[in-house]
Amino acid sequence: MTSPHEQNGQCVPDVFDAECSARHALELISGKWSVLILTALAEAPRRNGALLRRIGGISQKMLTQTLKDLERNGLVERHDLRTVPLHVEYRLSALGSSLSATLIALDRWAERNFPELDAARARHDAARLGPVAQTDS
């Protein structure tokens, strides 16, 4: 069939198309933990424990799970120095590296603009709770 996106896997790349693989790619790289893990690995190759310490609020389970997913999709490489005690290091693949600048830009934007978001939210919420009497302080 000559459908617009050839639903079998090949499609005109479009993140707006729910069936296109590009959408899955986008959801992977913009995932809650993916962004942080990829950014942390962009700073430097890291071990499991180091990642756990670097990324506040992540659980061992989600770290392992997300790392596996990223590795499966070729964004992260797992290097197992077969020693005892175990020593495993994660690093970005070339593909992963090609993404890091954009992800870091995203982080930077959040770090530079969150006060604006906070302020907007405060204003919005204040307006909803008390649309009247805003004459002082």
Q: Which residues of the chain form contacts with a copy of itself (CB under 8 A)? A: 9, 13-32, 35-36, 39-40, 54-57, 71-75, 95, 98-99, 102-103, 105-107, 109-121, 123-125
Q: What is the Rg, in whole angstroms, of the alpha carbon atoms belonging to the chain?
A: 21
Work out which of 22, 25, 28, 62 binds DNA, going by CB under 7 A: 62
CA–CA distance, 38 with 40 (Å, rounded to integer): 5
44 lies in the binding site for DNA (CB under 7 A):
no
* CB 136 to a copy of itself: min, Å: 22
Q: Output 112 or 128, the one with its CB closest to DNA.
A: 128
Q: Minimum CB separation from DNA for residue 86, in Å?
A: 4
Residue 41 is classified by DSSP as: H
Q: Which is nearer to DNA, 30 or 113 (CB)?
A: 30
From the list 62, 14, 18, the residue with the least C-alpha distance to 37 is 62
- Torsions phi, psi for 38 (to 5 deg): -65, -40
Q: How far is the CB of 3 from a copy of itself (least distance, A)?
A: 13
CB contact at 8 A, 60 and 52:
yes
